[in-house]
Structure 1
Amino acid sequence: MSVLRPAADTTPAGWILAAARTGDAPTVLRYGPPGFDTYLRLPVDGNVVFDMGPGAGVHPMEARLQVLAAHTTTPDIAYVGVWHGHGFANGPDPVAPVVPLPNAWMYLFTGPVTATRYAQQTVWSFPDGTPDAGIAAEPDLVWPDDHSWCLACEVDEEIEFSIGCSAAVAAALEAVLPGRARRVAYGEDAPRERARR
């Protein structure tokens, strides 16, 4: 089983931190850094299982990460930012480099793209190291070492998250999950929360 480990330092997050400090930080946290050819907005699916292939139940986030892993030259070297304030701490705070993103600093971990799916559950594990399977939160920021794409699931998002990528990656995601992605302009306004009754 692939596991995440603390990054050596915050250097790999420098490109995102620079974008947040010199631009609109809330937009960077919501869309990732500017400059990708295409930006997609996709639904936050919670614990919904998606049938992909003959009878195979695959979580939509896992399906997306499988596609993204196939569209990077560094699928075994990815980074994931995990927001410090989720409040899931079952034990002490993780020992990992802290990326001081404005109003949302994050712990930085590294591992294969596919291991980032359960970053929250792994980082906020129980004292004995058992991942907390009761946490449904998605990873906050994920990107491969070659910067070929960036997934951003802003901490207050309830409806959608973003992926910045090439047109080819966007087409591959749309093919795997038809009707579940929409192309948007970078920073396009969209509701964050579901309507309350």
Structure 2
Amino acid sequence: MTLHFCTDPAPADWIADSELPWEDLVTLGPGGFDAYARLRLLPDPVRPGMSENDAEAEDWRSEQLPRLFELLAAETTTPGDCYFCVWDGFGQSDVVSDEWRPDPWYDRKVQLPARAYWLFRGPLAEVGTWDSAAGWPGEVRLDDAEPAFVWPADRAWCFAFDVDPHWAGIGGDPGLIARLAADPRLDVVPTDRSADRPFYS
């Protein structure tokens, strides 16, 4: 089974219609879950104004994300039916033009105040195979773009990963968050949604 490109963004309305500030939404996902956590892809900064270039560790998302999705597949009744949002800023041309052109795909993308996403549907095991998705027009190459949001059809959890933070957010039930935090191959820390979260400058 393969991924399918969705031309109707309605399945993401529960995210797009959220009243949360967009910075909070794209980093921790929608509200309504009983627990949240951060998957750290770099250690948290240890001083104000610290740059990612000063972090004393390598970004290890390539090792953590497959393990995370492996565990999340067991935490839903619909691992074969999941949704994936991919930021439309990936795969864009390097050519800069001053001429404004309307986006012919605007109504087919998931729209947030400062982000827009392509929407895909299919098995969680097919995460990342955007360019081979059925119905994908292929006008933009997404290559190795990471998913910005992932959730199963039963909405048992939601993964959120914006391009700016050094971590991804996960919402789910407390048992799920505890199991992720206990996995030695993941750097997952429970987080209070109402508390400030660390960012590199």
* % identical equivalent positions: 31
Q: For residue 106 of structure 1, what is the aligned residue in structure 2?
A: 117
Q: For residue 63 of structure 1, what is the aligned residue in structure 2?
A: 67
- In the alignment, is the contact (CA less than 8 A) between 1:42 and 1:180 conserved in 2? yes
Between the aligned partners of 2:110 and 2:186, the Cα distance in structure 1 is: 34
Structure 2: gaps of 5 or more residues: 43-57, 95-102
Q: For residue 9 of structure 1, what is the aligned residue in structure 2?
A: 8
Between the aligned partners of 2:129 and 2:176, the Cα distance in structure 1 is: 22
What TM-score does the superposition give when structure 1 sets the normalisation length? 0.74
**Corresponding letter in the other structure for 1:70:** A
Q: CA distance change for structure 1 residues 177 and 121 in 2, over 3 Å: closer, same or farther?
A: farther
Between the aligned partners of 2:124 and 2:161, the Cα distance in structure 1 is: 15
Q: For residue 33 of structure 1, what is the aligned residue in structure 2?
A: 30
- In the alignment, is the contact (CA less than 8 A) between 2:41 and 2:60 conserved in 1? no
> Which secondary structure state, in structure 1, belongs to the residue aligned with residue 151 of structure 2?
strand
Structure 1: gaps of 5 or more residues: 51-58
Q: For residue 50 of structure 2, what is the aligned residue in structure 1?
A: none
Q: Which moved more, 1:100-109 or 1:40-49?
A: 40-49
**Corresponding letter in the other structure for 2:195:** E
Q: CA distance change for structure 1 residues 64 and 99 in 2, over 3 Å: closer, same or farther?
A: same
Between the aligned partners of 2:36 and 2:3, the Cα distance in structure 1 is: 26
Between the aligned partners of 2:85 and 2:142, the Cα distance in structure 1 is: 17
Please list, as runs of the form range in 1=range in 2, the aligned pairs for 1:121-160 lying within 5 A after superposition.
132=143, 135=144, 137-157=145-165, 159-160=166-167
The alignment yields a C-alpha RMSD, in angstroms, of 3.3
1:140-164 per-residue CA deviation (whole Å, 9 max, x = no partner) reads 110001111000001222x111000
Q: CA distance change for structure 1 residues 161 and 128 in 2, over 3 Å: closer, same or farther?
A: closer
Between the aligned partners of 2:197 and 2:187, the Cα distance in structure 1 is: 15
- In the alignment, is the contact (CA less than 8 A) between 1:119 and 1:138 conserved in 2? no
1:48-105 per-residue CA deviation (whole Å, 9 max, x = no partner) reads 488xxxxxxxx21011101111010111110011111124569xx9x79301111101
Between the aligned partners of 2:163 and 2:139, the Cα distance in structure 1 is: 26
Please list, as runs of the form range in 1=range in 2, the aligned pairs for 1:177-192 lying within 5 A after superposition.
177=184, 180-192=187-199
Structure with higher RCO (Cα < 8 A, 6+ apart): 2
1:15-57 per-residue CA deviation (whole Å, 9 max, x = no partner) reads 11111xx23122111110011111001112687488xxxxxxx
- In the alignment, is the contact (CA less than 8 A) between 2:91 and 2:140 conserved in 1? no
Q: CA distance change for structure 1 residues 120 and 155 in 2, over 3 Å: closer, same or farther?
A: farther
Between the aligned partners of 1:120 and 1:43, the Cα distance in structure 2 is: 24
Between the aligned partners of 1:131 and 1:106, the Cα distance in structure 2 is: 12
- Whose radius of gyration is greater, 1 or 2? 2
Q: Compute the displacement of 1:10 (Å).
A: 1.3
Q: For residue 85 of structure 1, what is the aligned residue in structure 2?
A: 89
The list of structure 1 runs, each at least 4 consecutive aligned residues, that deviate by more than 4 angstroms after superposition, is: 119-123, 127-131
What TM-score does the superposition give when structure 2 sets the normalisation length? 0.73
